[in-house]
């Protein structure tokens, strides 16, 4: 039986901050895609957000191979971001 995907530390606070800022947020569970799909109603902007725990050293916040592939495939869109905190997520909006 497959275990549920681990959620990143700080995800709850980031999701709450984004929703309070007027975003529609979906948590994604596929290991090959970012953690969140976000739509900001006011700006009509769609974002993919990969969450990393900003308290960990940079070596522990590296993207996994499938994540690197996703980021490379979607880089041309300019809507894939890695964030370490709610403040970083809100700054992208």
pLDDT tens string, the chain, 93 residues long: the values are 444 556 767 899 999 999 999 999 999 998 889 999 999 999 999 999 999 988 888 888 899 999 999 999 998 898 999 999 999 999 999
Q: What CATH number does the domain containing 63 carry? A: 3.40.1350.10
Q: Residues of 47-58 as b/e, b for ≥16 C-beta within 10 angstroms?
A: bbbbbbeeeeee
Label residues 4-38 b or e (16+ Cβ within 10 Å = b): eeeebebbeebbebbeebebebeeeeeeebbbbbb
pLDDT at 25 (0 to 100): 98
Give a yes or no: residue 1 inside a domain: no
Q: Which domain holds residue 30?
A: 11-92
Residue 88 lies in a domain: yes
Question: Does 25 fall in a domain?
Answer: yes
Give the number of domains in the chain.
1
pTM of the predicted model, to two decimals? 0.86
């Amino acid at each position: 039986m497959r275990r549920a995907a681990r959620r990143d530390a700080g995800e709850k606070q980031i999701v709450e901050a984004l929703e309070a800022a007027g975003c529609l947020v979906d948590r994604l569970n596929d290991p090959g895609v970012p953690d969140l799909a976000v739509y900001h109603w006011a700006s009509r902007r769609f974002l993919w957000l990969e969450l990393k725990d900003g308290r960990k050293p940079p070596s522990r916040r590296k993207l996994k191979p499938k994540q690197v592939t996703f980021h490379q495939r979607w880089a041309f869109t300019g809507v894939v971001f890695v964030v370490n905190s709610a403040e970083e997520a809100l700054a992208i909006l």
